[in-house]
């Protein structure tokens, strides 16, 4: 793998993770653009190092490139848990934790050169955020209108 390919992978994950992080940032969630970029970049770096070690030590030492990827997944679970907060009987931050977990997966995909998977996954995540947020907004407005009508009727 040459330096140009490494640079391409780094720029790609910064863009993809940044797009997802911007959504979280605009919604004032616990982990925003910087956190998502760093998670994506970190998982890409770990993947690249893992693949490099596999090529470097192949045949001379037992090297399993999947072991580092497995540790990335475990580490992101710990980081994601930090974004989850229980407040007033409800749990918040689950979507942000899931987006961090997904960005780590996208970083692993970019590191492995699975660009199509990384780009399509990012687009699907952004689509889900956009569509679900629009549906939630519509439902909240409908519920607010119904509650407002009920209060007028009770008076």
For the stretch 17-45, pLDDT in tens is 999 999 999 988 878 999 999 999 999 99
Q: Which residues of the chain have pLDDT under 70?
A: 87, 154-155
- Is residue 97 exposed (0-12), middle (13-18) or buried (19+ Cβ within 10 Å)? buried
Q: Residue 115: count other Cβ atoms within 10 Å of its Cβ.
A: 14
d(CA 155, CA 151): 6
pTM for the whole structure:
0.84
CA distance linking residue 73 with residue 45, whole number of Å: 14
Number of structural domains (the chain) is 1
Question: What is the residue range of 62's domain?
Answer: 3-154
What interhelical angle do 33-57 and 3-26 show, nearest 10?
A: 150
């Amino acid at each position: 793998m040459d330096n140009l390919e490494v640079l391409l992978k780094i720029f790609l994950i910064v863009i993809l993770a940044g797009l997802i992080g911007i959504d979280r940032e605009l919604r004032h969630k616990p982990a925003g653009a910087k956190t998502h970029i760093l998670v994506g970049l970190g998982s890409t770096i770990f993947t690249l190092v893992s693949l490099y070690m596999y090529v470097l030590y192949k045949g001379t030492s037992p090297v399993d490139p999947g072991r580092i990827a497995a540790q990335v997944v475990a580490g992101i679970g710990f980081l994601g848990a930090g974004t989850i907060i229980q407040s007033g009987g409800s749990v918040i931050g689950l979507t942000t934790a899931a987006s961090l977990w997904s960005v780590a997966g996208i970083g692993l995909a970019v590191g492995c050169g699975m660009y199509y998977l990384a780009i399509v996954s990012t687009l699907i995540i952004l689509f889900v955020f956009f569509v679900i947020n629009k549906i939630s907004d519509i439902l909240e407005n409908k519920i607010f209108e119904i509650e407002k009508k009920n209060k007028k009727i009770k008076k």
